Chain A
Amino acid sequence: MRTTRGIFLWLAVGVPLLWGVTKTLQNALKLFQ
């Protein structure tokens, strides 16, 4: 139960953050193109 809750909580904050980091990295790569 506690593990499920932990996974849910970390996914809830991790997924949006990962999306934001990916988008920013895509943008940042333009610097080296």
Chain B
Amino acid sequence: MATSFLDRASTVAPPGYDRFLVPPAALAVHLSIGQAYAFSTFNLPLTRLIGLNHSAPDDWKLTEVGWIFSIAIVVLGLSAALFGRWVERAGPRKSMLAAAVCFAGGFIVSALGIKGHQLWLIYLGYGVLGGCGLGIGYISPVSTLIKWFPDRPGMATGMAIMGFGGGALIAAPLSLLLMEHFKTATSNGVLETFVTMGVIYFMFMMIGVYAVRVPAPDWKPAGWTPPVKPQRLVTEAHVAVDVAWRTRQFWFLWVVLCMNVTAGIGVIGQASPMIQEIFSGRVTPAAAAGFVGLLSLFNMGGRFIWAAISDYIGRRNTYVVFFGLGILLYSSVPALGHLGSISLFVAAFAVILSMYGGGFATIPAYLRDVFGTMHVGAIHGRLLTAWSVAGVLGPVLVNYIRQYQIDSGIPKAQAYSVTMYIMCILLLIGLICDLAMRPVDAKHHHRLPSTGP
């Protein structure tokens, strides 16, 4: 009984089903797993579990705690790549449930790690188990949404992936609220917050498990017919996942995503100290926190807006805008800092972060255009390894180059200039790969088994 409820066959929508009931199911999952972006709210409290108001000698170091998020992001990419085929086979309901169990389970295992003050248990809990929940949850609704919205695949996946950006906006204040609520004379409330968040997110993700539906194989939106004039980079054929990842188109898109994410993720991690150092004495820590919040909003909004725009201007052109405008904006940041214009500086980074989010949200539709819908979820999963690489590369580039500049005697306010120019080079590499995209050779197309004469 329970198994049949989870089967793909049980999720096939009846005729006349309203397809706009499906995006909230995807959002329920993505809003939950998007909590990962707000994990830094736990960093300081985790370094004060013993000392409470300060770090005691036996408390964990910030550098050790920082690895929790890094492990989770690396495992996200790896698990999306590993479980992508299973997600396609099992269907969205079963995979969303697996994501919920892993993600919520990660919180509970981590809570045990906090109770016993065992950091490895948190690495294993939130990092590995939670990371699997992130990876499976991230890709689970993607191919379903693409099949429901063949007329607007960018908008549909943008809506879900917007949830991943929005998840941090909910999780950051929620975590602070819960820690404050559970705080006592002997505890800073992190343990109880982890357990509570595990329960809340499990229940919230169950909304997705319950509500998700896949369209019948022959379903099409009412009144919609596939475009008669084929677009050059949009195929009606399908490429199997094991074939797709051996094509150069896959690796071009891998570099496109990796470069776009590397440029953005480095900025996100350093946004607060960067604005304070570039506008030294003019931006307070509270205002810098506001800057980070503003970037999160643009990161979230960009996911929906840019992905929806890509339905009209095409995926390749959308990335041309990301990379072209990105190069222009990154190269102007040093000048804006020199001019002392905080407003223009903030505006430039707001647009940059909108394109960072837009890059994530547009890539599933780009994959659908190039490789078809058959294995798009699994191909997307393998492409997300680019995120894992960028998650390490971006912060390392920004942090190490900044430190090298400061060690060389360059004032802190100017220490980011070289980084910005390096980001421009990364974006240029991405632009070249995007422009090199061509349709996949017909020899790679999947052929249905012949049924005979």
Contacts and interface: CB of A to CB of B under 8 A. Distances in A.
B290 A12 contact: no
A13 B357 CA distance: 20
B383 to A, nearest CB: 26
Given A5-B21, A25-B297, A31 B166 contact: no
A19 to B, nearest CB: 7
A12 B293 contact: no
Contact of B296 (A17, A24, A30): A24
A21 B31 contact: no
Contacts, number: 79
A25 to B, nearest CB: 7
Interface residues of B, number: 34
Consensus secondary structure, chain A interface: helix
Interface string B131-149: 0000000000000000000
Contact of B290 (A6, A19, A28): A28
Contact of A2 (B21, B288, B290, B297): B21
Given A9-B211, A24-B169, A25-B297, A31 B346 contact: yes
Nearest to A12: B207
A25 B166 CA distance: 13
A9 B21 contact: yes
Contacts of B289: 27, 30
Contacts of A2: 18, 21
Interface stretch (B22-30, B243-251, B373-381): B22-30
14 contacts: A13-B27, A13-B31, A13-B207, A17-B27, A17-B169, A19-B173, A21-B166, A23-B173, A24-B297, A25-B293, A28-B294, A30-B289, A32-B290, A33-B287
Interface of A: 2, 5-6, 9-10, 12-13, 16-17, 19-21, 23-25, 27-33
Interface of B: 18, 20-21, 24-25, 27-28, 31, 163, 166, 168-174, 204, 207, 211, 283-284, 286-291, 293-294, 296-297, 300, 346
Q: Which 10 A-B pairs have the closest CB atoms?
A: A20-B169, A31-B290, A20-B170, A9-B24, A30-B290, A28-B294, A23-B173, A27-B293, A13-B27, A28-B293
